[in-house]
Amino acid sequence: MARAGLGPGWRCLFANDLSPKKAASYRANWGDDDLWVGDVHDVTPAMLPGRVDLAWGSFPCQDLSLAGAGAGLSGGRSSAFWGFWNAILALKAEGRAPRTLILENVVGTLTSRGGRDFAAIGAALASAGYRFGAMVIDAALFLPQSRPRLFILAVADDLAPPPQTAASAPSALWHPKALLAAHSALDEQSTRSWIWWRLSAPRANVPCLADLIEDEPVGVRWHAPEETEALLALMAPLHRERIRAIAASGERRVGAVYKRIRTDRNGVKAQRAEARFDGRAGCLRTPAGGSSRQTLLLVEGDRIRSRLISPREAARLMGLDESYRLPTSYNDAYRLAGDGVAAPVVRFLAAELLEPLLGCATAAQAAG
């Protein structure tokens, strides 16, 4: 999805994933000339061509997510970062360090293991001569999905950021309190290497969740009435009252529902269904990330129906166009979306930062 977001102006020279199923989806959309399927820890410099403008790393979030196990970068999945980083160091040793790097993951990276994981990433970047900064960008600025993600952008020491890409102070839009706290805990070398990246406020015309929903979905079925009733029965009184008010209004409204474990005032844990009707879906997640799948609730007067989000709807919530080829299996398609990066966010970063940075470098080389 990073490739889809970057767009046709970029050329991919190497792509890697451990999952054969995700690799199959990549082949279906991009071919396999540049694809290697295997453990990132086994990537060698000989597999990586030349010196590239960008190396993008979206490593698994399960060990960093608040819903996951909390093992951090030493966990079995999220330790993939170190495999990626070892490949970067090997390229640097050959004088081929990528000009820019982007690392993408959940916001929990900022607080994982008391902030030590974020500090470790910063120390690694700084010690390799990269200048870097981080931003939290919510896909909800572009799409009807609440999906805040951390993006760390690093530039090689021979790449001077043009003035319009860097700010003297953080921005409330891109640098929330958790990021400020994580930045304050960096070591001295990392702090000296830090850049407050400057991004414009996006002007995207964000659709509503209802605009993306299929009337006759492919790959899922509408629940039987008793299944919908069981879902409603899991809701707290406040959520049921909200749905009754929507039904009484006669409006057609689409809501998103997650099942969560909540603790009541007596300390008893119970499963609850929680609905939102703000025109957005909740963050697409997969069971592997420690969360349930998301359910849609369609309210049309007295008629209330429910079903899972369809594969194509999930793809739309990630900003993928209608021609994007999805796996035929529901589980595989949903996992592909839930583990991905929102394509419009990638395009925004490319337009706001990557292309100005690299364009400046090209101009400087031409002048030299």
Question: What domains, with CATH codes, occur in the chain?
Answer: 2-206+338-367 (3.40.50.150), 221-308 (no CATH)
Is 208 tagged catalytic? no
**Per-residue pLDDT tens digits for 99-121:** 999 999 999 999 988 999 999 99
pLDDT at 260: 85
Give per-residue pLDDT as tens, 149-178.
999 999 999 999 999 999 999 999 999 999
Which DSSP string do the residues of 219-243 spell out, in sequence order?
A: S--PPPHHHHHHHHHTB-HHHHHHH
Q: Where in the chain does DSSP place strands (E)? A: 15-17, 35-37, 54-58, 100-106, 131-138, 148-155, 166-167, 196-197, 252-263, 269-276, 295-300, 303-308
Instruction: Read off the pLDDT of residues 216-259 as tens digits, 9 standing for 90 and up.
Output: 999 999 999 999 999 999 999 988 999 999 999 999 999 999 88
Whether 28 has a pLDDT exceeding 90, the answer reads yes
pLDDT at 346 over 60: yes
Task: Tell me what percent of the residues of the chain surpass a pLDDT of 90.
Answer: 80
DSSP 14: -
Segment 12-33 mean pLDDT: 96
Which residues make beta-bridge pairs with 104? 58, 151
CA dist., res. 65 & res. 282, Å (int): 15
Q: Are 152 and 344 in contact (CB under 8 A)?
A: no
Residue carrying structure tokens 């700010």: 167
One-letter amino acid at 108 equals: G
Distance of CA 55 to the CA centre of its chain: 16
| Catalytic residue (one of 12, 61, 208, 360) | 61
Q: Residue 360 — very low, low, confident or very high, per pLDDT cuts 50/70/90?
A: low
Which residues, other chains included, contact 325 with Cβ-Cβ below 8 Å and sequence gap of 6+?
Answer: 25, 28, 29
More confident: 264 or 193: 193
Give yes or no for residue 5 having a pLDDT over 90.
yes
The pLDDT value recorded for residue 68 is 45
Could you report the per-residue pLDDT of 289-325, keeping only the tens digit for each? 445 688 999 999 999 999 999 999 999 999 999 999 9
- What three-state secondary structure class fits 186? coil
User: In which order are the strands placed within the sheet that holds 303-308?
Assistant: 269-276, 252-263, 295-300, 303-308
pLDDT at residue 86, rounded to an integer: 93
**Spatial separation of the C-alpha atoms in residues 100 and 357, rounded to whole Å:** 9
pTM check: above 0.75: yes
Q: What percent of the chain has pLDDT over 70?
A: 91
Q: Quick check: 64 pLDDT over 90?
A: no
pLDDT for position 266: 81
Exposed e or buried b for every residue in 38-70, given b needs 16+ CB within 10 A?
eebeebeeeebeeebbbbbbbbbbbbbbeebee
Confidence of residue 365 (pLDDT cuts 50, 70, 90): low
Beta-carbon contacts of residue 236 (< 8 Å; ≥ 6 apart)? 262, 272, 274
What is the tens place of the pLDDT at every residue in 30-61?
A: 999 999 999 999 999 999 999 999 999 998 75
What pLDDT is recorded for position 181?
A: 97
Tell me what pLDDT residue 287 has.
63
